[in-house]
Amino acid sequence: MVTAPALSASGPDCCRLRHKVFNSMGQVSFRRSASDGMPMLAMFLGEREVLVSLRSLQREFGIADESEDGRMLGKIVEALDFVNALQIGDRLPAEVLTGDASWEPDPVYARIAAARLRMQLVHWVNGRTSDALLELTEETLQQIEDDPALRHQVQHGVGRAAEVLGLPDAEALLADLGDLARELGYIESLRDRLLRRVQRMAAKVERLDRVRRSDSARAETVTQIARLTAIALKQMAERFGDLDAQTTDVIAALRDSESLRTFIRSNRDWLYRSQRAWAPLLIEWDDVDTAQEEGLGGLLTRTYQFLAPRFMPVTEWLMATRQRRKPVPKGQRMVW
């Protein structure tokens, strides 16, 4: 995958804003609020850091969405899905500029994707379905690569597919397969970094649910976490399932590769945003010993606080927030 060349801080691909409000407050940065994810401008007043909503700033200073600064603020908001923070002069991430990814998966994932595509060619030429291929791993990949009979079938499938697609030779077909495998390598990486890690977390929560039923207060929290994690996993699994379905018919995938690449990248970015949001929590669950009490209560609380606003049905969430909400005393609201 070709990476766009780096540009100077004054280039159009960099974070730059002309309005004096952004250039008269010293060094400012843009990031999402830790509490609700809203895009914010961060600046220092003396030694105190102040966060201001970007939307509030736009309204306060009359920065229209269609203006040059308004369009740049839109790009900054989009960029914050892929980077933790931006400062004036920083280059915008590749996802915003070119549609490429700003990160690289381990090369093994492109190899897994390539092996799956080649095996789908074998199944296509033999008139079989490819459902079993969805469980390819690094271990089974090596077995496939070492099998001379399979290599022969792959060569036959490549040649036949090149004919059907009207390509000049097998090398052209292999080049197209390689391009598609590189795009799908990101998906395979995210299958490991997101889906399988959440599945492992869910398994730990399930074990907790079985052994802690006698602790009624904690049992309710664990039960809620298990329910909300199941909802999250269903959404993720459907996303990966849609991606897998698009490449099961490898000939159709290669015939319409441009629209498929757009589809893959859109889902790649959604999954990557999700992975970034889940990452701090999953790191804790990766390391937790569920047989130990130390730190477990805090982790369960943080897990519920992460899951509830994202996966609880809207009516339940509204009821829960109304029950917790308290009146805010006068003088404690900040209006922009």
More confident of the two residues 96 and 334: 96
* Residue-level pLDDT at 190: 97
Q: Which of 14-23, 125-134, 156-165, 193-202 has the lowest mean pLDDT?
A: 125-134
Q: What does the pLDDT average to over 78-95?
A: 94
* Residue-level pLDDT at 122: 87
pLDDT digits (tens, 9 = 90+) for 269-304: 999 999 999 999 999 999 988 877 788 889 999 999
More confident of the two residues 19 and 321: 19
More confident of the two residues 129 and 198: 198
Say whether pLDDT at 315 is over 70: no
Check if the beta carbon of residue 267 is closer than 8 Å to that of residue 243. yes
Q: What does the pLDDT average to over 113-118?
A: 89
Rounded Cα–Cα distance for residues 240 and 191 (Å): 8
Domain map of the chain by residue range?
A: 20-95, 110-323
Residues facing residue 40 across a β-bridge: 31, 53
CA atoms within 13 A on the CB side of 5: 3
Q: What does the pLDDT average to over 75-96?
A: 94
pLDDT digits (tens, 9 = 90+) for 133-187: 556 666 666 677 778 888 888 899 999 999 999 999 999 999 999 999 999 999 9
Q: What is the mean pLDDT of the chain?
A: 85
Query: How long is the chain?
Result: 336
The contacts of residue 197 (CB under 8 Å, 6+ apart) are: 278, 282, 285, 286
Q: What does the pLDDT average to over 23-41?
A: 87
* Residue-level pLDDT at 253: 94
Tokens linked to 300? 């369960």
Query: Where do we find the tokens 């976490």?
Result: 225
Residues facing residue 86 across a β-bridge: 30
Q: In what order do the strands lie in the sheet with 85-87?
A: 48-53, 39-45, 29-32, 85-87
Distances (CA, A) of 191 to 105, 195, 237: 11, 5, 9
Burial of 6 (0-12, 13-18, 19+ CB in 10 A): exposed
Say whether pLDDT at 321 is over 80: no
Rounded Cα–Cα distance for residues 133 and 244 (Å): 10
Rounded Cα–Cα distance for residues 116 and 122 (Å): 10
pLDDT digits (tens, 9 = 90+) for 92-112: 999 999 999 999 999 999 999
Residues facing residue 30 across a β-bridge: 41, 86
Say whether pLDDT at 25 is over 70: yes
Confidence of residue 2 (pLDDT cuts 50, 70, 90): very low
Rounded Cα–Cα distance for residues 22 and 29 (Å): 10
Burial of 238 (0-12, 13-18, 19+ CB in 10 A): exposed
Query: How wide is the angle at C-alpha 320 spanned by C-alphas 317 and 323, nearest 5°?
Result: 150
The contacts of residue 60 (CB under 8 Å, 6+ apart) are: 336
Amino acid at 154: V
More confident of the two residues 41 and 211: 41
